[in-house]
A and B are shown apart, each in its own frame.
Chain A
Amino acid sequence: MTTADASPKDAQLRRSAEALHAHELEALAQEDVRPRPTQWRLSPQAVVTYLMGGRTKSGVEISPKYIGSRRLIETAVATLATDRALLILGVPGTAKSWVSEHLAAAISGSSEMIVQCTAGTDENQIRYGWNYALLLAKGPSREAMVATPLMRAMEAGRIVRFEELTRMPSDVQDTLITVLSEKLMPIPEINDSIHATRGFNMIATANARDKGVNELSSALKRRFNVVVLPLPADLDEEVRIVTKRVGEIGGGLELPTIAPADQEIMRIVTVFRELRDGQTLDGRLKLKSPSGSLSTAEAIAVTIGAWAEAGHFGSGVIDAQSMAANLVGAIVKDPVQDKVVLQEYLETVVRERKPWADLYGAIRDVM
C-alpha cells in the first residue's frame, strides 16, 4: 500500500526503502513461514534478516541495511513486536533515521507515514487538523477532520515514524502520551476517539547532542523502549559502511563511474575517527576535537562530494585534490576554532605519515 505516485520511478531523486528493496521484501515474504504479528508484512526474524542482510532459502541475496550489532536490531524489532513504541537514540549520523525507515518498510510495507518534528510543529500537525470550510459548513464532524500521518497509521494499523522527536517543544511531545499508553486518540470536539488498529506502532528518532533540541519529556521516555545506536566500533566497520553507502547513493545520483577508491575512503574515515576520538588510531598522540560531530554520515557526504568532483572536474579518480576541499568543509564548522584544530592535526599527524604527503599538500592549498 504505497501512496499513489504519478511521477515515473526513474525521475524520483531518492526512492523509498520499500521501493528500492521491493524484490528483497518480496522474496522474504514468500518464504517466511514463521508467525507474523497481526498486520506485519514479515515475521520478526525476517525483519531482522532484512536489516542485517543474509540469503533466503531460495538463494535471493539480502543486502545488509545496517552494519553493526545484530543484538541492537533484534531488540528494536522485539520492541515493536510487543506493541511498545521504539525510541532510537544516538549522536548524529549513526543511521537512526535509516534504521527507522527500513524497519517501517519491512514491517508495514511503507516507510512514508512520517512526521518531521521541528520547533514549529504544533499539536494539530500531530493529532488532526480541521478542514475549515467543512468545519464552518457542517460543524465538527469526522468528515471535517484532516488526518495526520499518526491518525492514518492508527486507523490503518501501520508504523508511523517521528523524525527528530526532541526538536519539537516538550509540551507538544506530551500529546503522544495517551496515544502510546492507551493506544487511542481522543477527539473531544465530537465526543469521539480513534482507536488504534492492531499493527500500529511508532518509531521515533532523537539525538541529545545537537544544539537546539528540547528535553525529551520523562513521561514520554518512560513509554518508549530505548535503543541507542553507537558510532561504528572500529575503522574497518566504518569503512565498510561508508563504502557501501557511497556506492548506493552514487549510483542513485548517476555520478560518472570512476575507479574504486577504497584506499581513499580509508583515509577519510581515519581522519574522521582520529579527530572525533581526540587521539590517533594507534593511541600515541592526543588531538583536539573540532566542534562538529564528524559522524559516519558526514564521511559518506565527503566521499560523495569527492566522487562528484573527481568525476565531473577531476582526473576521474578520487585523489587528494578532490578530497581536500570536501574534508576541510566537513571539519571546519567554526571558522576560528576548528581551523586551529585542523591545522594542528595537519602538522602533527598528516605530515608525519609519508604516504599521505599528497593529502598534506592538497589540504594546505585549500586552507
Chain B
Amino acid sequence: MASAQPDRLHLLGIRHHGPGSARAVLAALDAADPAVVLIEGPPDADELISFAASSAMMPPIALLVHALDDAANASFFPFAVFSPEWQAIRWALAKQRPVRFIDLPASHRLAERAKAAKQADDEGEASPEDSGAAAPDQPEAIDPELARIRRDPLAYLSTLAGYDDSEAWWNALVEQGTHGPEIFAALEAAIGALREKIDPLPYQPAHEAQRELRREAHMRLEIAAALGAQDGPVAVVCGAWHVPALRKKVALKDDRALLKGLPQVKVTATWVPWTETRLAASSGYGAGVISPGWYAHLWHGLEHKDAATLDAAGFTTRWQARVAELLRRNGRPASTASVIEASRLAITLAALRDVALPGLAEMREASLATLCEGETARFRLIEQQLIIGQRVGEIDDSVPQMPLAADLARWQRKLKLKPEALDSDIALDLRSEAGLAKSQLLHRLALIQVPWGRLQGSGQSRGTFRENWRLRWEPEFSVRLVEALVHGTTVAQAAGNAAVTNAQAATSLNTVAGIVRGCLEAGLSEAAETTIALLQQRSAATSDVGDLTEAVPPLAEILRYGTARELPTEALRLLVISLVEAICAGLVYACRNLQADVAAELRSRLARLDVAIGLIDDSGLREGWRRALASVANDASAHPLLKGLASRALYDHGVISPEQTALALSRALSHSVPTLQAGDWLDGFLGQSGQVLLHDHALRRIIDGWLAAIDGEAFNNLLPVMRRAFSSFDRNERRRLLDELARQRPLAVATMTEAAPLQPLTPLPAGTADFEAALPLLLTILGADRPMKDALR
C-alpha cells in the first residue's frame, strides 16, 4: 500500500494535548501541504468536523458520541485549543482540504459496552458503566511501569533524555530549529524501538490489547484508502505510539479480517462544552495533562513563533500578571512592580538552568520568591485556578445541538449564569425577578438530574427569601441533558414532564410529595398541579396511614413558608387538608397491632406530623387532628407508645387539663397494666427529650405527684419501667432534672448526693417526709445515683 509511494504519506506522531506537538504539526503540515488530513478520532463524528472552523467554537470542547437508544452509553473526545488534533483540523478547514477521522468507529465500542452492561445486569451485578473496563475482573498482571509508558510514551522518552517535563523536552526539540518532518521521523524511530521492546509484554489487559490491534488495523485501512483515492500527499495526525504500527506493512485482507463482525449500535454525535479541570490528569482523564492552564499559556504565547521571534519577556510577564491578578482576586496584595521582578527572576532562572524559556517550575519559584513573599500557603491558594484553570468551553450556536442543551445555553445567557468548572457560590434573593428566575432554573435542572447547582445550608426555603447555591459544571451534564430529551425540548418542559413521569413511577407517597415540592420550587405550576392531583389520587387509594403521614410535612412547610414564590396555594391547601383528613380517619386503626419497631417509627412520624399540622392555619383541620389523637389516647388496643404520645400531644395543645393528664398517667401505669406496656406508655408520653420535663413545671408536678402517691410495692414494680423511660434522656438532662427537684428540696438532695443512697436520712422538718421517702428511689429512677457520683468526682 503505502510502500508504492512512501513519500506521500506523512505520519505525524503527536502527544495528545501537547502544545509543542501542536506547533510541530502545524509546521509539518505547512511543509508537506497534504491533500488530505486524517486524524485519530471517531469517524462517527465526521460531519461535525466542519464546525470547528467557526470562531465561536471555544475549546475546551468535546465530541460526544452516544448510543441513539441509550444516551448514558457515551464516549467523549475532548479537544483543547492546544491539542494537535484540533489545530490540524483547523489547518485543513482553513485551507479547504478534506479532513476525516480514521480511528475505529465509536459505535463498536459502545456496542461492546452495551453488551457488557447487559451481561452484568443479567448476572445481577452492578453494571460497569463508564468505568471503561469491559471485563469485570482482570487476573492478568499488568506492569504499572509499562502501562505508564504506554499511556504517555513521550513522557517516558523525555525522562530518558533527563527532562522531568515531557513538554519541556518536546519544546527543547522543536525550538532548536529542526522543524518539520525530521522531528517526526526521529520520534518514529524512537517509539519504534520502544514498541519492539515492550509490545510482547503484558502492558495492558488482553481485551484492550485486542482493541488496540483493531484500531490500528482500521487506521491502516483508512490510510490505504486515502492514498488510493487521490495522488496528493496524505497527512495523518495520531498518537506517537501508533506511528510504527501504521507504517507496518500488513495485508489488507488481514486487517479486514480483524475487523469483521464487530458489534455495532446506532450512534449520534454532537459537540459539547468541556472543562479545563477535566483536561487535567488529576481528574482521572487518561490522556490528561498536568496543567491545562500552563499549556494554554504556552500555546498562546508561542503560537506561530519560533525561537528567533520569541518574546520571552512578554511570555513570562503575561503569566506572572495572571498570578498577580489571581492573588488580588483572592484578596492578597500583588503589585505591578512585583510582577516585573517575578518575570526577571523567572527568566534568569531559566538561563541559569539552560532552558530557552521559563517552564512551569521556574515560573512557580519566581512567583513564590516575589509575588508571594516566600509564603507557600499564598501560592497554594491560587494554584488550582492558575495551573488547572476553570474555563468551560463554548459551542457555536449553529452547531446542531440537542435542543435541551441549546435551551439551557439560552437561559444561561439570559440569566448571566456562566458555567464554570470550579465551585462558585451564589446567593439568590427570591424577591427579585432575576433571583427567582435563577433559582427556578436550578431547581428545574435538578428535576432532570442535572445538579449544576447544589442548594447550600439547611437546604430549605424555610421562612426565608434567600437561597445559597454552589455551582459547578461537569461535562457529564451534557449526557444528562441528552437523556432528558425524552421529556421535552426545553428545560421547563423537560423538567415538568420528568417530574410527572417520576411521580407516576414513584412507589411511596413521600417521594411524590417531594416531587410536588420540587415542582413548586421550580415554578412549574402545571406540573405542580398535575402532581398534586396525582398525590390526591394516590392518597385516596392508599390505606397506609404511615405513608400519608410522611407526605404531609414537606407540603405543610411549603404552605406555611413558601410565600416568596407564586404558588397554586389553593390546590395545595386542598390537598393537604384531604391528606390530613385521610390520616385522621385511619389513625386509630393504624395504631393497633403494631410491632415494637413499626410503632417506634410511626411515633416519630406522628411527632413530625403534629408539628406540621401546627403550621397550617386551619382550625377545622386542627380540630379533626385533635379528635383523632384523643381517640388514639383512649383506644384500648392502640399501641401504648402511641397512646402515650397522643396523650402528651393533647396535653401540649391544652385539650386536656393537667388533672386529666395526671389521671391518664396513673391509669396507664396502674398495677394491672403489664410492666412493658406501662413503660412504652411512659416512653411515648415523655418523648425522647427531657427538655419539656425540665421546663414545664405543671407536667413535672403531675409526674412528681403521681410518683409520690404510689405505694412501696407498686413503686418497686415500676422501677424498671421508669428507668427505661428516662434512659433516652442524656446525662446532662438527667442531672439538670435532679437539680430542679433539688431546688424544691434543697437540703435533702444535698445530703443524698454525698451519702450513699438508702442511708438513713437526717431528720427533716415535717411536710417533706413524703418526698424524703421517695427520694432514694427517685435518684435510682433518674439514673442519677451512679452517674451523679461520677459526675461529682
Residues of chain A at the chain B interface (Cβ within 8 Å):
44-45, 48, 71, 74-75, 77-79, 81-82, 84, 87, 89, 221-222, 225-228
Contacts and interface: CB of A to CB of B under 8 A. Distances in A.
B407 interface: no
27 contacts: A44-B348, A44-B351, A44-B352, A48-B352, A71-B361, A71-B365, A74-B365, A75-B345, A75-B349, A75-B366, A78-B345, A78-B349, A78-B352, A81-B352, A82-B341, A82-B344, A84-B345, A89-B374, A221-B373, A222-B335, A222-B337, A225-B341, A226-B370, A227-B369, A228-B374, A228-B375, A228-B376
Interface in B337-384: 337-338, 341, 344-345, 348-349, 351-354, 361, 365-366, 368-370, 373-376
Interface in B368-422: 368-370, 373-376
A322 to B, nearest CB: 39
Given A45-B354, A71-B361, 7 more contacts: A75-B369, A77-B352, A78-B345, A82-B345, A87-B374, A222-B337, A225-B341
Nearest to A88: B374
B370 A225 contact: yes
Contacts of B344: 82, 84
A49 B472 CA distance: 48
Q: Is the interface of A mostly helix, strand, loop or mixed?
A: helix
B345 A225 contact: yes
Contact of B348 (A48, A78, A227, A228): A78
Contacts of A89: 374
A220 B341 CA distance: 14
A230 B229 CA distance: 65
A48 B338 CA distance: 25
Nearest to A48: B352
B352 A45 contact: yes
A78 B11 CA distance: 42
A225 B337 CA distance: 12
B353 A225 contact: no
A33 to B, nearest CB: 13
B338, B368, B374, B375: which has the most chain A beta carbons within 10 Å?
A: B374
- 9 residue pairs, one from A and one from B, having the closest CB atoms: A226-B374, A78-B348, A225-B369, A78-B349, A228-B374, A82-B344, A75-B365, A44-B352, A82-B348
A226 B365 CA distance: 10
B357 to A, nearest CB: 15
A22 to B, nearest CB: 24
A207 B376 CA distance: 16
Interface of B: 335, 337-338, 341, 344-345, 348-349, 351-354, 361, 365-366, 368-370, 373-376
A335 to B, nearest CB: 33
A294 to B, nearest CB: 22
A225 B341 CA distance: 8
A344 B353 CA distance: 49
Contacts of B354: 45
Contacts of A45: 352, 354
A41 B316 CA distance: 29
B163 to A, nearest CB: 15
A79 B369 contact: yes
A161 B354 CA distance: 28
Contact of A222 (B338, B368, B376): B338
Nearest to B376: A228
Contact of A226 (B337, B351, B369): B369
A316 to B, nearest CB: 45
A314 to B, nearest CB: 43
Nearest to A69: B365
B373 A226 contact: yes
A228 B337 CA distance: 21
B371 to A, nearest CB: 10
B378 to A, nearest CB: 11
B349 A74 contact: yes
Contacts of B365: 71, 74-75
Contacts of A48: 352
Contacts of A44: 348, 351-352
Contacts of A74: 349, 352-353, 365
Nearest to A225: B369
A111 B264 CA distance: 76
Contacts of A228: 374-376
Given A75-B369, A228-B376, A81 B361 contact: no
A74 B348 CA distance: 10
A87 B341 CA distance: 14
A228 B369 CA distance: 8
A79 B345 contact: yes
Nearest to B350: A78
Contacts of A226: 369-370, 373-374
Contacts of B352: 44-45, 48, 74, 77-78, 81
Given A222-B335, A227-B369, A84 B341 contact: yes
Nearest to B374: A226
A71 B335 CA distance: 25
Contacts of B370: 84, 225-226
A221 B378 CA distance: 15
A78 to B, nearest CB: 4
A31 to B, nearest CB: 17
A306 B49 CA distance: 76
Nearest to A44: B352
A227 B375 CA distance: 9
A81 B348 contact: yes
A302 to B, nearest CB: 29
Contacts of A75: 345, 349, 365-366, 368-369
B364 to A, nearest CB: 9
B335 A227 contact: no
A75 B345 CA distance: 8
B793 to A, nearest CB: 25
Contacts of B345: 75, 78-79, 82, 84, 225
Given A79-B345, A81-B352, A84-B344, A227 B338 contact: no
A227 B370 CA distance: 9
Nearest to A71: B365
A48 B354 CA distance: 13
Contacts of A78: 345, 348-349, 351-352
Nearest to A72: B365
A78 B345 CA distance: 6
A363 B142 CA distance: 53
Nearest to A80: B348
A44 B351 CA distance: 9
Nearest to B361: A71
Contacts of B341: 82, 84, 225
A85 B345 CA distance: 11
A89 B370 CA distance: 13
Nearest to A226: B374
A227 B373 CA distance: 8
Nearest to A84: B341
A75 B349 CA distance: 6
A178 to B, nearest CB: 15
Nearest to B335: A222
A74 to B, nearest CB: 6
Nearest to B348: A78
A228 B372 CA distance: 11
B671 to A, nearest CB: 58
A225 B344 CA distance: 11
Nearest to A229: B374
Nearest to A221: B373
A104 B366 CA distance: 21
A79 B365 CA distance: 11
Contacts of B376: 228
Contacts of B361: 71
A221 B338 CA distance: 11
Contacts of A225: 341, 345, 369-370
A195 to B, nearest CB: 21
A71 B376 CA distance: 14
A219 to B, nearest CB: 11
Contacts of B366: 75
A262 to B, nearest CB: 32
